């Protein structure tokens, strides 16, 4: 069983994906980490993010060990990943990576921006998780403060709105809900309520 979870930044899709994966005993992939890892690889090597050829090489050479780097969770990497993700050659290389992950015999849970539309269009379960931008900014602000990063709510909200616009308008695999995805707005839901709503969707779709 493949569970595809899409949605914009800080919608809660990552937390939800991890919980569903644990509940059903499935491997989980936060596909955003792939793009962050490509961006970090480039920055570590001294390449500007605008260098599309270097980005493509970094994506093609990406190994799973890179996904454990704690620097990938930093706010700057989210912004860098959003820029890298607009490069078609990067998306093509990472598409193959993601599809290999999803193709194992037991299934998987993947979360990102184009899982239900591009990566796993045949997924048995498709969820599109969203929330109001202001609520997403509040969540990200709490998360970053909890990690000791200094930032402001207004700066985070501006980042989120910019990323939403960039992700939704890119030519290759834009952020959008699959036609057959179940929409779940988590603005008014806590983590437990969101999990229960998502679990019910999975239960209705899974074979019995």
Which pLDDT score, from 0 to 100, does residue 13 have?
A: 94
Is 169 known as a binding-site position?
no
Is 172 known as a binding-site position?
no
Is 126 known as a binding-site position?
no
Q: What is the DSSP code (8-state) at residue 188? A: T
Q: What is the pLDDT along the chain (208 residues), one digit of tens a residue?
A: 999 999 998 899 999 999 999 999 999 999 999 999 999 999 999 999 999 999 999 999 999 999 999 999 888 898 899 889 889 999 999 999 999 999 988 899 999 999 999 999 999 999 999 999 999 999 999 988 888 888 899 999 999 999 899 888 888 888 899 999 999 999 999 999 999 999 999 999 887 6
| Torsion 136-114-181-72 (CA) sign | negative
Alpha carbon distance 7, 88 (integer Å): 20
In the chain the domains, ranked by start, together with CATH numbers, are 2-205 (3.40.50.300)
Q: Is 125 within 8 Å of 201 (Cβ atoms)?
A: yes
| Structure token digits, residue 51 | 């260098």
Is 146 known as a binding-site position?
no
| Structure token digits, residue 104 | 């194992």
Is 12 known as a binding-site position?
yes
State whether residue 86 is helix, strand or coil. coil
Is 53 known as a binding-site position?
no
Q: Is 55 within 8 Å of 38 (Cβ atoms)?
A: yes
Residue 109 forms beta bridges with which residues? 3, 28
Is 137 known as a binding-site position?
no
Chain-centroid distance of CA 59 in Å reads: 16
Is 9 known as a binding-site position?
yes
């Amino acid at each position: 069983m493949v569970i595809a979870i899409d949605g914009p930044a800080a919608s809660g899709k990552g937390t939800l994906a991890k919980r569903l994966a644990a509940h059903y005993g499935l491997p989980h992939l936060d596909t955003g980490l792939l793009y962050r890892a490509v961006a970090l690889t480039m920055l570590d090597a001294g390449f500007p993010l605008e260098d599309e050829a270097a980005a493509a090489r970094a994506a093609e050479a990406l190994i799973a060990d890179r996904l454990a780097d704690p620097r990938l969770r930093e706010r700057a990497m989210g912004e860098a990943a959003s820029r890298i993700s607009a490069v078609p050659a990067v998306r093509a290389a990472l598409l193959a990576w993601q599809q290999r992950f999803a193709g194992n015999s037991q299934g998987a849970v993947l979360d990102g921006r184009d899982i239900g539309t591009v990566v796993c269009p045949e997924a048995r379960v498709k969820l599109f998780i969203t929330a109001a931008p202001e609520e997403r900014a509040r969540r990200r602000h709490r998360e970053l403060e909890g990690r000791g990063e200094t930032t402001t709510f207004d700066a985070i909200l501006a980042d989120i709105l910019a990323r939403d616009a960039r992700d939704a308008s890119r030519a290759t695999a834009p952020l959008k809900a699959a036609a057959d995805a179940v929409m779940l707005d988590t603005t008014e839901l806590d983590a437990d309520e969101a999990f229960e709503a998502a679990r019910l969707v999975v239960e209705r779709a899974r074979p019995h």
